[in-house]
Amino acid sequence: MRRPQRRAVAKQSRAKDGDEIRLLEAWIDAGKPLPGTKPPPPSEESSAANARVRARDVVAKAAAGDYSDYGASTRFDELPLSQKTKDALRKAGYKEMSEIQRAALPHALCGHDVLGAAKTGSGKTLAFVIPVIEKLYREKWSQEDGVGCIILSPTNDLAGQIWEVVRKVGKHHNFSGGAIVKRTGIEQEKERINSLNILVCTPGRLVQHFDETPNFDCSNLQILVLDEADQILDKNFKSQVDIILSQIPKARQTLLFSATQTKSVKDLARVSLKNPEYISVHEQASTATPDNLEQCAMIVPLEQKLNMLWSFIKRHLKSKILVFLSSVKQVKFVYEIFKKLRPGIPLKCMHGRMKYEVQQAIVAEFSESTSVLFSTDIFARGLDIGNVDWVVQVDCPESVALYIHRVGRTARYNKKGKSLIFLCPQEERMLEKLKATESKIPINVRNQKWNNWSRYLRM
């Protein structure tokens, strides 16, 4: 039983939350952006020197009933967000919003469905995590209310990473939740899934719960998020996504994000978007890949690709290198032979047949150290590892979109990065696609004779 003093504190805190929620709702309603509007370019006023003063003014004015149009905000603390979320963002070092966050957050906060597109590494995760937390907070969501939000991700690792962002931003709130990934075991998950408010998972795992967990109930769902939406809506996940959509209410907010967003009317009809805001902040940009990314392609005979890779690694022993290969077999093979040859830099490998805990340990080690990681495309989308110097593609990606996601593991959020792709003459068709004007990929091609390559590998 709670002591009377603790009960009084809890009551006081609930009353404070209630006051803040009323203020936020009035502010969100009064200052909401009109449908179809974009934020104006940041003005001189938004310089760091007076930004904090301006943010304080905005909040003080809102408290006095004078609500600003938050659609023009440049900082998180100028938005109508709960103090708990603002404190968590500040502590995590997030102050200025990125372009996609500036454009998407005002619309998402006031309940619009959003179809968001922005380059890899540009901060899309916060653009959907913040609205999720704020919506549940304003709805006074508690453990008894059950599942209020589902965030779908194509892989377990990405689900785990998104959950860490939810935890970081929601750390002062009282929501329950988790990444529903293979780690815990389905039986343990079944016992607690109905008491979780925010689920982050792959479509497959969620369907397993719909099939096997007695009384699994999502009828109260408020928000559905699809990260890497174009992949979640493609044919590989089709049957699972159809089951999920048939089990959740249509009256909900839906947020779709990707660096290579779908515009297919069919896809959008499937998720029943209501007057969605199509927010593509880099649509007019001259490149589809990050500005700080240097990209290079080399044409080499198939049988020379591994020699080239070996020479490349030997010349970059002080770099963090992510190497993409197309199958588990290839990853294991290259990892094993290169390990025997001892290149002088730690080697690691990662693929979907590993246990989730092992994958997590490898990601953590790779984040910390200078090393080479051989990986399948399990790593291609979404994963945010700091300071990857090079992405090397030994096997040709099957689409331009996959190329964009693979190279997007470097040059993230204003950092610099480089990428190299080895293509054999039979794969030059992909090179044409990458070089096509509409792909907007500034790639340099080294087309010299392959046996003259060594000086080029000193890039």
Q: Is 412 one of the binding residues for ligand ATP (CB under 6 A)?
A: yes
Strands laid side by side in the 443-446 sheet: 347-350, 372-375, 321-324, 390-393, 417-423, 293-299, 443-446
Binding segment for ligand ATP (CB under 6 A), chosen from 119-127, 279-287, 301-309, 422-430, is 119-127
d(CA 187, CA 33): 45
Q: Least CB distance from residue 407 to ligand ATP, whole Å?
A: 10
Which residues, in sequence order, are CB contacts of 383 under 8 Å at separation 6+?
157, 158, 161, 363, 409
Binding segment for ligand ATP (CB under 6 A), chosen from 269-277, 286-294, 407-415, 421-429, is 407-415
Interface residue with ligand ATP among 413, 436, 444, 454 (CB under 6 A) is: 413
d(CA 183, CA 309): 34
d(CA 335, CA 337): 6
* Contact indicator for 334, 374 with CB cutoff of 8 Å: yes
If the CB atoms of residues 125 and 295 are measured against ligand ATP, the closer one turns out to be 125
Interface residue with ligand ATP among 88, 97, 117, 391 (CB under 6 A) is: 97
If the CB atoms of residues 298 and 350 are measured against ligand ATP, the closer one turns out to be 350
Torsion, CA 364, CA 365, CA 371, CA 376, rounded to 10: -50
Distances (CA, A) of 181 to 156, 186, 224: 6, 9, 18
Q: Is 125 one of the binding residues for ligand ATP (CB under 6 A)?
A: yes
- Sketch the per residue contact string, 276 through 295, with ligand ATP: x for CB under 6 A, - otherwise: --------------------
If the CB atoms of residues 276 and 417 are measured against ligand ATP, the closer one turns out to be 417
If the CB atoms of residues 33 and 123 are measured against ligand ATP, the closer one turns out to be 123
If the CB atoms of residues 147 and 363 are measured against ligand ATP, the closer one turns out to be 363
How many residues comprise the chain?
A: 459
419 SS3 class:
strand
Binding segment for ligand ATP (CB under 6 A), chosen from 176-184, 312-320, 388-396, 408-416, is 408-416
Binding to ligand ATP (CB under 6 A) within 55-74 occurs at none
- Sketch the per residue contact string, 369 through 388, with ligand ATP: x for CB under 6 A, - otherwise: -------------x-x----
Interface residue with ligand ATP among 32, 75, 86, 124 (CB under 6 A) is: 124
d(CA 296, CA 392): 10
Distance of CA 195 to the CA centre of its chain: 25
Interface residue with ligand ATP among 70, 94, 390, 422 (CB under 6 A) is: 94
- Number of continuous H segments (helices) and E segments (strands) in the chain: 16, 14
Size of the residue set binding ligand ATP (CB under 6 A): 19
231 SS3 class:
helix
Q: Least CB distance from residue 79 to ligand ATP, whole Å?
A: 12
The identity of residue 133, as a single letter, is I
If the CB atoms of residues 118 and 378 are measured against ligand ATP, the closer one turns out to be 118
Binding segment for ligand ATP (CB under 6 A), chosen from 37-45, 89-97, 420-428, 435-443, is 89-97
Binding to ligand ATP (CB under 6 A) within 133-192 occurs at none
Rg (CA), the chain: 24
Which residues, in sequence order, are CB contacts of 238 under 8 Å at separation 6+?
none
Residue 438 token pair: 């509409």
- Sketch the per residue contact string, 4 through 43, with ligand ATP: x for CB under 6 A, - otherwise: ----------------------------------------
Binding segment for ligand ATP (CB under 6 A), chosen from 96-104, 282-290, 301-309, 340-348, is 96-104
201 SS3 class:
strand
Interface residue with ligand ATP among 408, 420, 434, 439 (CB under 6 A) is: 408
Interface residue with ligand ATP among 122, 262, 375, 439 (CB under 6 A) is: 122
Residue 245 token pair: 């959509």
Q: Least CB distance from residue 279 to ligand ATP, whole Å?
A: 13
Where do the DSSP E strands lie in 189-290?
198-201, 223-227, 253-258, 277-280
If the CB atoms of residues 193 and 407 are measured against ligand ATP, the closer one turns out to be 407
If the CB atoms of residues 146 and 382 are measured against ligand ATP, the closer one turns out to be 382
Q: What is the DSSP letter of 380?
A: T
Residue 417 token pair: 């990065």
| Burial profile 255-277: b = 16 or more Cβ within 10 angstroms, e = fewer | bbbbbbbbeeeebbeebebeebb
d(CA 362, CA 432): 35
For residue 120, is it left (φ>0), alpha (ψ between -120 and 50) or beta?
Answer: beta
If the CB atoms of residues 247 and 287 are measured against ligand ATP, the closer one turns out to be 287
d(CA 120, CA 260): 9
Interface residue with ligand ATP among 62, 81, 108, 126 (CB under 6 A) is: 126
Residues that bind ligand ATP (CB under 6 A): 94, 96-98, 101, 118, 120-126, 259, 382, 384, 408, 412-413
